[in-house]
Amino acid sequence: MDWDDDDRDTDGPDDESDRVAPCPSCGAEISQEAERCPRCGDWVLDAPAGGGWPLWMKLGAVLALVVVGLWLVGWLLGALA
């Protein structure tokens, strides 16, 4: 058999690992299996369920806002007296 007479499709991807998608940050074409973009270095994997900020960061931010709010209320009441 001659390899030149091969009827395989070489234009498209052979399997799912060869598929590309745009990087959500820079738009570069990257493999769908890639964890990071080789161009900009951003992570491209889907965020885990319940992603976002960790609970301790959310609670810390709320606590900081409460402390600042209480300080402002105390300062305003002291300035008005």
| Residue 32: per-residue pLDDT | 84
CA–CA distance, 40 with 26 (Å, rounded to integer): 7
Query: Most distant CA pair in the chain: distance in Å?
Result: 99
| Residue 51: per-residue pLDDT | 61
| Residue 66: per-residue pLDDT | 97
| Residue 49: per-residue pLDDT | 54
- Count CB atoms within 10 A of the CB of residue 15: 6
Which stretches does DSSP call E strand in the chain?
A: 20-22, 29-31
Domain positions in the chain:
15-44, 53-81
pTM for the whole structure: 0.38
Low-confidence ranges of the chain (pLDDT < 70): 1-18, 46-51
